[in-house]
């Protein structure tokens, strides 16, 4: 199990593997971000993307899937998040890409009003298979403390 007390400031690590498929890109865009360059080869070819690209919001969702898989494997005692800051879509993500993440804990503190939880901030970057950063953000999250 991973509690607040187990989180180390400055600790970073690379994790996850997410294969981006054309079918998922089109399905996500059809429902949540139906812009032509996410849905249609000809329309995408006329843009700076050059071909169908995943929605940035889908890249966020794929990143979250990798984060949750890592946390689940570690028994992380997460309690949700108050939000994300400094979200940046750095490079397009295309079908055929394979994504991974790196996250670093930049701050942590016990909650003043909720003694059963701590708060930590982290900086997360998502990379494609070429090691190019495609997404970055800073977030805060709540985590259970071992002993109240």
How many alpha carbons fall within 13 Å on the CB side of residue 96? 5
Domain boundaries, the chain: 4-144
Distance CA 60, CA 64 (A): 6
Distances 32 to 25, 26, 36, 58, 110 between C-alpha atoms, Å: 10, 10, 12, 9, 36
pLDDT digits (tens, 9 = 90+) for 3-62: 999 999 998 999 999 999 999 999 999 999 999 999 999 999 999 999 999 999 999 999
Q: Which residue has the tokens 């950063």?
A: 133
Tens-digit pLDDT profile for residues 118-146: 999 999 999 999 999 999 999 999 999 99
Reduce the DSSP state of residue 147 to 3 states and report it.
Answer: coil
Q: Structure pTM?
A: 0.93
pLDDT score of 1: 86
Tokens representing 46?
């006329």
**CATH number given to 4-144:** 3.10.129.10
Separation of alpha carbons 97 and 21, rounded Å: 8
Rounded mean pLDDT of 80-101?
96
């Amino acid at each position: 199990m991973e509690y607040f007390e187990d989180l180390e400031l400055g600790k970073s690590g690379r994790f996850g593997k997410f294969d981006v498929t054309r079918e998922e890109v089109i399905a996500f865009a059809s429902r949540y971000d139906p812009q032509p360059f996410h849905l249609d080869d000809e329309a995408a070819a006329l843009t700076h993307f050059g071909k169908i690209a995943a929605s940035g919001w889908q890249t966020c969702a794929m990143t979250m899937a990798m984060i949750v898989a890592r946390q689940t494997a570690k028994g992380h005692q997460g309690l949700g998040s108050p939000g994300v800051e400094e979200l940046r879509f750095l490079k397009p993500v295309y079908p055929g890409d394979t994504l991974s993440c790196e996250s670093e804990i930049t701050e942590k503190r016990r909650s003043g009003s909720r003694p059963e939880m701590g708060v930590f901030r982290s900086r997360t970057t998502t990379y494609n298979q070429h090691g190019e950063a495609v997404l970055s953000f800073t977030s805060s999250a709540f985590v259970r403390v071992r002993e109240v």
